[in-house]
Amino acid sequence: MINLLYISISGNTRAFANHLAEYAKTQHQANAEQPLIHLEEVSDATQNEGETAPYFVMIPTYLDGGNGIDNGFHELMTTAMGDYLREPGNAAWCRGIIGSGNRNFNEQYCLTAKEYCKEFNVPFLADYELRGTDKDASRIYAILVKVAQADA
């Protein structure tokens, strides 16, 4: 089982997380050795029970000021995930982060994920735009499986 924590503001990340979980289900049905994906949505209402198993994070980018390049990084609306990761012991179980966003924002594309990777010293595994595609689901699932198997 692959554990995937995500935060969704506009619904795009939730839609892709569900798409990814469905893709994993089809892979598992074809080959029982292919892991399923367990999803958990993090929000301001999430109660931290403390992570005790490896997991991955999927996060979009929303900024409120700053361009993340030369005048700061001011995260907006996704801070609940950062707060969750900062809880004692939680970040130690994170095996990597997947970022999403809109490529129209150039250097800001996936900036929140990249900043979290630096802060929590975890790898940036992959990116996808907006709601992702079937090709993104296949590509990202393969990455998650590879990292999870290497961690086992």
Query: CA of 17: how far to CAs of 56, 98, 115, 150, in Å?
Result: 11, 11, 21, 22
- 139, 108, 122, 103: which is closest to 16 by C-alpha? 139
Could you tell me if residue 77 is left (phi over 0), alpha (psi between -120 and 50 degrees) or otherwise beta? left
Look at the chain and report how many structural domains it folds into.
Answer: 1
Lowest mean pLDDT among 5-9, 21-25, 30-34: 5-9
Residue 14: which CATH number?
A: 3.40.50.360
Task: Tell me the per-residue pLDDT of 7-16, one tens digit each, with 9 for 90 and over.
Answer: 988 888 999 9
Instruction: For 51-96, give the DSSP string.
Output: --S-EEEEEE--BSS--SSSS---B-S-HHHHHHHHSTTTGGGEEE
Residue 7 in contact with residue 43, Cβ under 8 Å?
yes
pLDDT at 29: 97
User: What is the pLDDT averaged over residues 127-144?
Assistant: 95
Host domain of residue 75? 2-151
**Which residue matches tokens 């929590």?**
120
Residue 97 in contact with residue 45, Cβ under 8 Å?
no
**Count H helices, E strands: the chain?**
4, 5
Q: Phi and psi of 7, rounded to 5°? A: -130, 140
Of all residues in the chain, what percent carry a pLDDT higher than 70?
87
Q: Phi and psi of 128, rounded to 5°? A: -155, 160
Task: Tell me the per-residue pLDDT of 67-118, one tens digit each, with 9 for 90 and over.
Answer: 555 555 455 557 889 899 999 999 999 999 999 987 776 667 778 898 899 9
pLDDT at 62: 67
Beta-carbon contacts of residue 83 (< 8 Å; ≥ 6 apart): none
24 vs 109 pLDDT, higher one: 24
State the Cα–Cα distance between residues 17 and 60, nearest whole angstrom: 12
Residue 20 has pLDDT above 70, yes or no: yes
